[in-house]
Every structure is written in C-alpha cells, then in structure tokens.
Amino acid sequence: MNDTDKFEITDQWILSTRGKKNSVDPHQPYAWLVEKERTISGQVEDIAAILLTNRECPFHCLMCDLWKNTTDISVPTGAIPEQIKLVLSQLPQVKHLKLYNSGSFFDERAIPSKDYERIASLLKGFETVIVESHPGLINDKCLRFRDMLKHDLHIAIGLETSNPVILRKLNKRTTPDDFRNSISFLTRHGIMSRAFILLKPPFMSESEGIYWAERSLEFAFEAGVECCTIIPVRPGNGAMDLLMGKGYFSPPDIRSLEEVTEYGIQLNSGRVFADVWDLSLFSSCKKCLEKRTGRLTEMNLTQKIVPPVRCTCDPSE
C-alpha cells in the first residue's frame, strides 16, 4: 500500500467513527491487575498496574481505544489519590507499580498537579513507579513529581513508529525527533524511559510492519530508552475498523510479533516485551495460538530467544 496520501486523517473524522464510551466512575480506577515482569536487575517480579479513570486524552490518535474508559470532563481534585488508595488497600505486596491513565500523567486536565504530593505519599512503599506520557508533555513537571516520589520514576512514551510519514497519519501530533528530544531530556535528568512501539499500524503491509517495528526498536534504544514494548495493532475503536473495511489496515500475524520480539531481544540493547493481551486476534490457527502465546511470554520473562513453534499453519509446512 503506497497511496496513504489519498486518505486524510483528521480529529473530526476519527471522532465521527467512535461508538459509545463505557460507563466509568471517577472515584474508582476502571481496572487493576498484577502481572509478572522481568525487572532491570534480571529478576522476574510482580508488578501491579492501576488503570486510572480520568479525563480523556486531548490527542486523538488513529489507533487508540483508550478513550473508551475515560470521562469527558476532568475528575475532581482528590479523586486520583482516592482511586489509588482504593487499590492499595486490596493489593498484595508488590515492589513495582504502573500508574497508567489512558493518556498522559502530566496532562493537567487529566491528573491535577495539586494531587501530586498526595499521590507521591501513597506510593512511598514502591521501588519503581511507571507512568505514561505523550512526548509533548515531558518537561520540568516530570522532575517535580520525581522529586516528590523520592524513588525510581520511569516514564513510558509512545514512539509508535519511527516512520515519519505513518506517524503523521496516526494523528499523534508528534515526530520521531520530538520523541528523541523527550527521551534525551529524561536521560539528562536521570529518569529512565520505555517506549511503546506499534507492530503494523495502518497503511503498512505485513513485511513493512515488521520492517518498521524493527527500525523503531533501534530508534528507541538509540534515543536512550531502557525498555520497549511491542504492541500489535488491533481493530475495535471505530476508525481502525473502517480502515480495515477499506483495505488500509489488517491486524498483524502473531508470527510477525514473534519475529520482531526475537529481533528486539537479540539487539541486546535493553528489555523487549511483546504485548500478549488477547493474541487470538492475531492468529487464525487454534492449534498453535496457546504455544505461540506461551513462547512470547517466556521470551518476555527470560529475555532469551525460545525455540520456534512448528505447526501445520506455517507457510513452509
């Protein structure tokens, strides 16, 4: 596909394709979970993730479905600490926490900075806290929050793709250079960062999807991130489904996710994780889905390349 310019992506068009949001409560996170992750030290440890309920992200990225669990208006001051407190009262003992808010932690209209002190004091028992942000919201505010936390703050930033033409099409209103500058700012100030990288965004063939995910891994590590997560792009947000209907998008194959994850691990530049949530969307073979998911999970946890799964669905079989 090389006719991407024929398709004009605007905020208005993306918004017009959306269905309804889910009903959420500003006094409760919309989800929380505990999962295993290989830490920087090489240990596999539990990490909790709290998915905070807050105001919708002001950006309208083409592939994003996080708006589904957000509010239209800002949540009141005090609601975010209240949500965190609610989960902490039920959480088993864990040392690491992801505090994800379907947008940017440093977006004032999502998380009021008046709440930072209270949030920091609630999180004082954790060794690592990871928040997410758009590159355009990385500034001194991150340093102020880090200083309040008094322990490791990591920031996850969506590079999405280092292909500048496709990144523009994604309507994220950022560039690969913005990403590099944000990571460099964080590194200069001693804050570790991780990147989200898309596998096969719209307007790419399967082989282009693999090629650009691999280039994006290299770009993110060269910029200075410590860790990359590869996210296979899925339909389901309205816009992506319409693009799929027009032939501009199809979900990547689970084997492409395996290939890119292997590539990232052998770069030996930092941790590389595959997003293994609901991989059934990326496989049409019931015989090997579980084995391939298990293989990806094992690669996530060991950071080693695990022998490939052989199945009758393989093109060479």
Which residues make up the interface to ligand SF4 (CB under 6 A)? 57, 59-61, 64, 66, 102-103, 134, 158, 172
Tell me the residue type at 229.
Answer: T
Decide whether 207 or 284 has the Cβ nearer to Zn ion: 284
Alpha helices in 62-205 (DSSP H): 79-88, 116-122, 140-149, 164-169, 176-188
The reply on whether position 310 binds Zn ion by CB under 5 A is no
Does 66 bind Zn ion (CB under 5 A)? Our answer is: no
Q: Write down the residue that tokens 């355009």 correspond to.
A: 136
Nearer to ligand SF4, 105 or 248 (CB): 105
| Closer residue to ligand SF4 in complex, CB, 37/132 | 132
Return the closest-CA partner of residue 79 out of 24, 133, 34, 21.
24
For Zn ion, what does the binding mask look like between residues 246 and 285, x meaning CB under 5 A? ---------------------------------------x
DSSP secondary structure code for residue 55 in this structure: B
Q: Which of 287, 302, 304, 310 binds Zn ion (CB under 5 A)?
A: 287
Listed ranges 58-66, 131-139, 150-158, 286-294: which one lies at the site for Zn ion (CB under 5 A): 286-294
Q: Which DSSP category does 71 fall into?
A: B
Q: Closest Cα to residue 220, out of 261, 264, 255?
A: 264
CB of 14 to ligand SF4, least distance (A): 9
Given ligand SF4, Zn ion, none, residue 242, with its beta carbon under 5 to 8 Å by kind, binds none
The H or E element that residue 125 is part of is: none
| Residue 200, contacted partner among Zn ion, ligand SF4, none, CB below 5-8 A by kind | none
Nearest distance from residue 305's CB to ligand SF4, in Å? 29
CB of 265 to Zn ion, least distance (A): 22
Angle at 130 between CA 125 and CA 135, to 5 degrees: 150
Q: CB 177 → Zn ion: shortest distance, Å?
A: 41
Residue 67 Cβ vs ligand SF4, minimum distance, rounded to whole Å:
7
**Which partner from the list ligand SF4, Zn ion, none does 114 bind, CB cut-off 5 to 8 Å by kind?**
none
Would you say 29 or 103 has its CB closer to ligand SF4? 103
What is the spatial distance between Cα 143 and Cα 154, in angstroms, rounded to a whole number? Answer: 11
d(CA 49, CA 32): 5
Q: How far is the CB of 236 from Zn ion (least distance, A)?
A: 23
11-40 positions binding Zn ion, by CB under 5 A: none
Burial of 226 (0-12, 13-18, 19+ CB in 10 A): middle
The minimum distance between CB 141 and ligand SF4, in angstroms, equals: 16
Q: Which is nearer to Zn ion, 114 or 310 (CB)?
A: 310
Q: Least distance in Å: CB of 314 to Zn ion?
A: 7
Give 141's contacts (C-beta < 8 A, 6+ positions apart).
106, 113
Residues in CB range of 273: below 8 A, 6 or more apart: 37, 227, 228, 229, 230, 261, 300
Task: Calculate the dihedral angle through the C-alpha atoms of 278, 280, 283, 286, rounding to the nearest 10 degrees.
Answer: 140
Q: Which does 86 bind (CB under 5 to 8 A by kind): Zn ion, ligand SF4, none?
A: none
Contact positions vs Zn ion (CB under 5 A): 285, 287-288, 311, 313
